[in-house]
Amino acid sequence: MSRWPGSPARYYSQVTAASITAENTFTDAVDIFGLFNLSISGTWVGTVTLQRSFDFGATWVDVTTYTANIQDAGDEPEKLVVYRAGIKTGEYTSGTAVIRISQ
């Protein structure tokens, strides 16, 4: 069921993934509540930033950064929070970072 205010009830996927090959590029936002997984793989050089938003993507807050492949888990205690991950401007050097956020 959707947690977006005013939206009709619906089923949706809580998975987002992207292959990042440039700066200022992020996964699509995904609605997260509770436990979630983050996977970063590939051959890349740069800094991947995990971000969350409390206003449906109007503004983003950095959660943490990664400079190597990882398998990580997190816990979001608040409802109506969206997450994304990607490489910010000035933080990409080379390669492809494959990023997946799932719940």
CA atoms of 17 and 21, how far apart (whole Å):
13
The letter for the amino acid at 65 is T
| CATH number of the domain to which 85 belongs | 2.60.120.260
Residue 3 belongs to some domain of the structure: no
Domain extent at residue 40: 15-102
Q: What residues does 25 pair with on adjacent strands? A: 87
Q: How far is the C-alpha of 99 from the C-alpha of 101, rounded, in Å?
A: 7
DSSP string, 20-51: E-SSSEEPPPEEEEEEEEEEEEEEEEE-EEEE
| Per-residue pLDDT at 13 | 54
Report how far Cα 20 is from the mean position of its chain's Cα atoms.
Answer: 12
Would you say residue 4 lies in a domain? no
Q: What angle do CA 35, 18, 6 make, to 5 degrees?
A: 60
Query: How far apart are alpha carbons 64 and 25 in whole angstroms?
Result: 16
Provide the pLDDT for residue 10: 44
Task: Give residue 11's pLDDT.
Answer: 45
In a domain, 9, yes or no: no
Query: Does some domain include residue 63?
Result: yes
Measured distance CA(62)–CA(43) in Å, rounded: 23
Could you read off the pLDDT of 46-88 as tens digits, one per residue?
999 999 999 999 999 999 999 999 999 999 999 999 999 999 9
